[in-house]
Structure 1
């Protein structure tokens, strides 16, 4: 099976390409650096030509109010190219609970992306993942000040990027879901607790202060970013840290 992976050189995309190739598929990575520009549309017809499946793993360069325009334009361009090329399955990666956090522009943008795919007249699959373990360092940096890091007690269910890639590759190689598959890590933590675990493991002396107003995840209400009934990945956070 020939699978075009758009955004195939990034954190998830490069691992998806590797997993698909290991399973015997012809997985071809595409990105702006290879001539496939999702915003201008340049090179997209060539990128998807002859592909049975398109996996779109491109991401907005910002998480602010500019992100909806990125996903709107990029999806419209990719869907047009995929329809022209006769692609039979279109896959995207989204976020567990994405439609439950209207206060965040980036989450609104991912909902736009999902809706465009659902209406796009191509058999599709949406893989929604929980928060990546790989991003915990960035989360800590957002609200760090001196010897303290402020984090809300938002429940999250972290998943390793390698497990995300494996799930995306599995879905891409299968029949279209024409729906959503949730994937998640095996454990639920509060974000402040996860911060303490991370700093302790690294020997970082900073203190995590629980602050319900701190950072992006302060906008999240309840446990919408978790799903105990999701397809659970095998990697535990402490094992990933090690």
Structure 2
């Protein structure tokens, strides 16, 4: 079987959804899993999501991209002052998920967050980044890594020019032409009344609102086959997630 490269969208503490997704994908050591960030904040099992990812990386080829929520959790684990915006953005649920964790366990998670990549470029010149980039020459030239976790302008640029440039890659904005394809999370497709990964120009948005009332999604970047879980909120009855 040929190697699959599978991009996985924002998990937001939904361990049950991640387990379900992996059961559907059935990844093997021949596959490459690329997680697009935001593993925490939302449903009640953020720390437990990280536990599973730590196990997963020992068995399978995995790349973990850092999201903006992950950066906040990393700061908390480092003992830095709590960010009020993070707390109101469901940081409290993440902190509660660590209630029974020892200092050693928290340190292991901190090292995991520290070692995450801000972006990845594969052999086919496909870019994987949580948010996007603003630098004219690509993410490697971005002066502030926080932009890579928070930017939404690249996705909006692709959306605004998609119809005009349909089928004509040379008509794509210059920043999009830097890469064969670009895969992002961060901006829920629910914002556009869409419950599946969205494509605009050569960009794919894989955040299908798992932290809200959507599903957790994965896409085979070669075949474009999409795999989705149940609506994540149905796996956590009585919880509000990020709603």
TM-score (normalised: structure 2): 0.31
Greater relative contact order structure (CA < 8 Å, 6+ sep): 2
Query: Which of structures 1 and 2 has the bigger CA Rg?
Result: 1
TM-score (normalised: structure 1): 0.31
